[in-house]
């Protein structure tokens, strides 16, 4: 996480935020928001049960359809008419007027790990949920389901100025490469009519992600003839070339400002201890909030691979046959946009709800709209969670109603804005 700034507000809050704070207080006391807050508080058991059910449906990246169908059925029971777009995203619109733009509220469907059986997702005696994906992103999906039901009871504000598009999107994690959000934001039938993006990811209320941590990911592949470790000794060895590459990569002086990172994430190659490998590969992750910094490091990586291959060929009796650098992922970077109204809205809301939050930079679905210059933030949906991306992942729902109220207030501010 980079460029973290504390934005908890005190007496020195700017005048414009004080004005927003007044609007938040009025909305919080309005019939629509009071009804919504009562629903979130009175429906905790119902929301917890839906959360548990959703997480028991496996949903690995590129294999999200079963979970999406499950959520679609819940939405149909709530009176919505969900559909699937060409990327596999599940969408449901709440339309107050055909002439109005949309605010998209999204949560990603996919997880890095999946339960092998429903019993792996369990509820402890104190109500804590355990199992892969219960926080990332079971919390966001449960929030979408709860929000859909609350909105069916009536609009948040009189004469809303935004329609609402609920989206359970695919391919956020890992090599999913944000494909679901890229389609929604750049190519879907809704793309031109979505004005803002509110991304629900995880539980924590302590962050407002409004700066996109970009990344480019590569697979490095080195190939040779291969052979016997004794009889063919001296021919170029792809494993040796790749190991030399990794050493050179670890010696790169990475930019400090804007910060950039390079990680060799996996290494693979060889068939046996008495063989010279015919192929070796590694996966590399390069990250920064600056696209220029990423491109600089990519150039250094490419030079390191060439240098390592050339050195292995120079030392060998038979050259390597080929090497390739294949890009396997690209998440766009974007600096913080000072004109992003969602940041000011959330700052005012957090002041009212006594939530201590910070602006942060992270890699989320919000990368795509932020890089396109559109107002977007990623926030948690409430409660507490931990051990994301691990079998021991857990989620405690105490505080979930506060997170849901925060989401509803954000939508109400958008719907009462021009």
CATH of residue 111 = 3.40.630.10
Q: What share of the chain is helix, strand, coil (3-state, %, to 5)?
A: 35, 25, 35
Are residues 61 and 166 part of one domain?
yes
Are residues 192 and 71 part of one domain?
yes
Are residues 288 and 191 part of one domain?
no
Are residues 273 and 161 part of one domain?
no
Are residues 349 and 276 part of one domain?
no
Are residues 368 and 284 part of one domain?
no
Backbone angles phi, psi at 264, to 5 degrees: -85, 110
3-class SS of residue 308: helix
- Cβ atoms of 80 and 97 closer than 8 Å: no
> What is the pTM (predicted TM-score) of this model?
0.90
- Cβ atoms of 200 and 144 closer than 8 Å: yes
Looking at the structure of the chain, the number of domains it has is 2
Rounded CA-CA distance 244/238 in Å is: 10
For residue 19, the model assigns a pLDDT of 83
CATH of residue 264 = 3.30.70.360
Are residues 306 and 235 part of one domain?
yes
Are residues 198 and 266 part of one domain?
no
For residue 14, the model assigns a pLDDT of 58
β-strand partners of 227: 276
Taking only the tens of pLDDT, the chain with its 418 residues reads 333 333 343 334 456 667 888 999 999 999 999 999 999 999 999 999 999 999 999 999 999 999 999 999 999 999 999 999 999 999 999 999 999 999 999 999 999 999 999 999 999 999 999 999 999 999 999 999 999 999 999 999 999 999 999 999 999 998 899 999 999 999 999 999 999 999 999 999 999 999 999 999 999 999 999 999 999 999 999 999 999 999 999 999 999 999 999 999 999 999 999 999 999 999 999 999 999 999 999 999 999 999 999 999 999 999 999 999 999 999 999 988 888 999 999 999 999 999 999 999 999 999 999 999 999 999 999 999 999 999 999 999 999 999 999 999 999 999 998 7
Rounded CA-CA distance 180/84 in Å is: 11
Rounded CA-CA distance 151/153 in Å is: 5
Rounded CA-CA distance 227/282 in Å is: 21
Backbone angles phi, psi at 328, to 5 degrees: -115, 0
- Cβ atoms of 244 and 356 closer than 8 Å: no
Domain closes at, from 315, 331, 347: 331
Are residues 139 and 46 part of one domain?
yes
Task: Reply yes or no: is the peptide bond before residue 137 cis, omega within 30 of 0.
Answer: yes
Helical axes 400-415 vs 341-353, angle rounded to 10°: 130
Q: Token pair for residue 20?
A: 């927003």
Domain closes at, from 307, 331, 355: 331
Tokens 């389609």 belong to 183
Are residues 263 and 296 part of one domain?
yes
Rounded CA-CA distance 181/178 in Å is: 5
Are residues 229 and 148 part of one domain?
no
Are residues 346 and 322 part of one domain?
no
3-class SS of residue 91: strand
For residue 339, the model assigns a pLDDT of 86
Digit-coded pLDDT (tens) for 201-242: 999 999 999 999 999 999 999 999 999 999 999 999 999 999
Domain closes at, from 286, 309, 331: 331
For residue 417, the model assigns a pLDDT of 86
3-class SS of residue 381: coil
Q: What range defines the domain where residue 135 resides?
A: 2-212+334-415
226: left (phi > 0), else alpha (psi -120 to 50), else beta?
A: left
Neighbour order of strands in the sheet with 322-331: 260-269, 279-288, 214-223, 322-331
């Amino acid at each position: 996480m980079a460029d973290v700034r504390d934005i908890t507000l005190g007496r020195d809050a700017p005048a414009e935020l004080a004005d927003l704070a007044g609007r938040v207080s009025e909305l919080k006391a309005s019939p629509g928001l009071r009804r919504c807050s009562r629903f979130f508080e009175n429906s905790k058991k119902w929301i917890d049960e839906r959360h548990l059910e959703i997480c028991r449906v496996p949903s690995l990246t590129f294999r999200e359809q079963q979970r999406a169908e499950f959520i679609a059925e819940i939405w149909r029971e709530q009176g919505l008419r969900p559909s699937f777009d060409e990327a596999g995203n599940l969408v449901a619109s709440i339309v107050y007027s055909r002439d109005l733009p949309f605010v998209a509220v999204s949560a990603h469907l996919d997880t890095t790990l999946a339960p092998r059986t429903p019993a792996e997702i369990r509820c402890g005696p104190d109500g804590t949920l355990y199992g892969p994906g219960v926080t990332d992103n079971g919390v966001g999906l449960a929030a979408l389901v709860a929000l859909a039901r609350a909105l069916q009871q009536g609009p948040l504000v009189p004469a809303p100025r935004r329609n609402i598009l609920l989206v359970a999107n695919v391919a956020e994690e890992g090599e999913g490469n944000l494909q679901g959000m890229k389609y929604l934001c750049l190519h879907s039938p809704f793309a031109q009519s979505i004005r803002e993006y509110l991304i629900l990811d995880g539980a924590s209320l302590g962050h407002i992600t409004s700066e996109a941590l970009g990344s480019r990911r590569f697979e490095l592949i080195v190939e040779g003839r291969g052979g016997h470790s004794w009889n063919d000794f001296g021919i170029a060895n792809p494993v040796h070339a790749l190991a030399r590459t990794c050493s050179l990569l670890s010696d790169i002086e990475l930019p400090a400002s804007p910060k950039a990172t390079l990680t060799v994430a996996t290494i693979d190659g060889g068939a046996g201890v008495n063989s010279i490998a015919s192929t070796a590969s590694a996966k590399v992750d390069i990250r920064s909030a600056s696209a220029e910094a990423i491109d600089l490091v990519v150039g250094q990586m490419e030079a390191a691979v060439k240098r390592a291959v050339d050195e292995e060929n120079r030392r060998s009796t038979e050259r390597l046959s080929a090497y390739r650098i294949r890009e396997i992922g690209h998440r766009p970077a974007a600096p913080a946009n000072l004109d992003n109204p969602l940041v000011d809205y959330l700052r005012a809301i957090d002041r009212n709800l006594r939530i201590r939050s910070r602006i942060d930079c992270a890699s989320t679905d919000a990368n795509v709209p932020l890089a396109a210059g559109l107002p977007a933030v990623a926030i948690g949906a409430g409660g507490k969670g931990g051990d994301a991306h691990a079998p021991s992942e857990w989620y405690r729902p105490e505080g979930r109603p506060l997170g849901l109220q925060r989401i509803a207030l954000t939508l109400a501010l958008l719907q009462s804005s021009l």
